[in-house]
Amino acid sequence: QEFMASRSHQPATAVTHIELHRPEKRNAMNKAFWREMVECFTQIAEDPDCRVVVVSGAGEVFTAGIDLMDMASEVLQPEGDDMARTSWNMRRIIAKYQETFSIIERCPKPVVVAVQGACVGGGVDLITACDIRLCTQDAWFQVKEVDIGLAADVGTLQRLPKVIGSRSLVNELALTARKMYADEAKESGLVSRVFPDKEAMLAGALEMAGEIAGRSPVAVQGTKVNLIYSRDHSVAEGLNYMATWNMSMLQTEDVMKSAAASMEKKSPKTITFSKL
């Protein structure tokens, strides 16, 4: 499927690959991007033929963040007859942009993101809403917002502290806008794997996606939903949610099929699971 700022295709069974696709503008996030991501992930959440998503960027750079040319009018000059109405409109606009990344987090299908080169501003908002982050050795990450006069408002300040263990490091990155390179990103836990180049990274991302897609969608989606729930709740609340979740999901035929394959020392990838 071809969009204006991105494109999506199915490189393998049950795997959807979304590519940010404005390489000439370093995949800067224009109005079309913000709209298309919501359309894409709304479809993906409902699509039984998709079990896992890979997100990457075309060209040398993952993304330059918000498109400073295309977005300025909407973000900086909201309409309204007085301050209350202008502020209300501004709030609505910010909430709309937040939704572009929150919908990725809410999507029950795991999302693997692959970053090469720069990942700036809105790029960090995007990747922190994904489930697994991979990068190339030349990747760098920058919470750039303070440099352009604003506090990051579409997810980085809320999600990055839950991704990186060190609160001090998060504060430093967000307050100074310094670049963090691949090795430090790995050491801090922002990414789980670093690849020598983009080709190797995409091959690794697709292989990982294939591993996930080959497993029971009931198990995989239940795992994602419960990991995110437990991140935002106490252990007791998380256990309660889990028990309620699995009181129905444990009754799936997938458990018997998977257990039988395991006893026979077969990979779960040899099993045909019903669509979910």
Ligand X SMILES: CC/C=C\C=C\CC(=O)SCCNC(=O)CCNC(=O)[C@H](O)C(C)(C)COP(=O)(O)OP(=O)(O)OC[C@H]1O[C@@H](n2cnc3c(N)ncnc32)[C@H](O)[C@@H]1OP(=O)(O)O
- 66 among known catalytic residues: yes
Q: Which residues bind ligand X (CB under 6 A)?
A: 25-26, 28, 61, 64-69, 75, 94, 97, 118, 120-122, 144-145, 148, 153-154
Q: One of 59, 122, 214, 222 is an active-site residue; which one?
A: 122
Q: What tokens does 53 get?
A: 């998503």
DSSP code of residue 214: T
Q: Which is nearer to ligand X, 170 or 206 (CB)?
A: 170
Residue pair 30/8 in contact (Cβ under 8 Å)? The answer is no
Of 132 and 157, nearer to ligand X (C-beta) is 157
Q: Report the run of H or E that residue 11 belongs to, with start and end.
A: strand 6-12
Residues 153, 123, 95: CA angle, nearest 5 degrees: 30
Q: Minimum distance from CB of 94 to ligand X (Å)?
A: 5
82 is catalytic: no
Which one, 40 or 71, has the nearer CB to ligand X?
71
Q: Are 102 and 95 a contacting pair, CB within 8 Å? A: no
Maximum distance among all Cα pairs of the chain, rounded to whole angstroms: 70
CB of 75 to ligand X, least distance (A): 5
Residue with smaller CB distance to ligand X, 97 or 195: 97
Question: Is residue 145 flagged as an active site residue?
Answer: yes
Please identify, using beta-carbon distances, which residue of 76 and 236 lies nearer to ligand X: 76
Shortest reach from residue 48's CB to ligand X, in Å: 32
Please identify the residue of the shown chain whose CB is closest to the bound ligand X: 121
Q: Given the DSSP bridges, would you call strands 52-57 and 118-120 parallel, antiparallel or unpaired?
A: unpaired
Measured distance CA(157)–CA(169) in Å, rounded: 12
Q: How many helices (H) and strands (E) does the chain have?
A: 11, 9
Catalytic residue among 18, 19, 59, 66: 66
Task: Give kind and range of the element (H or E) at residue 209.
Answer: helix 198-213
Residue 122 is among the residues annotated as catalytic for this protein: yes
Annotated catalytic residue within 36, 70, 145, 254: 145
Catalytic residue annotation? 66, 122, 125, 145, 153
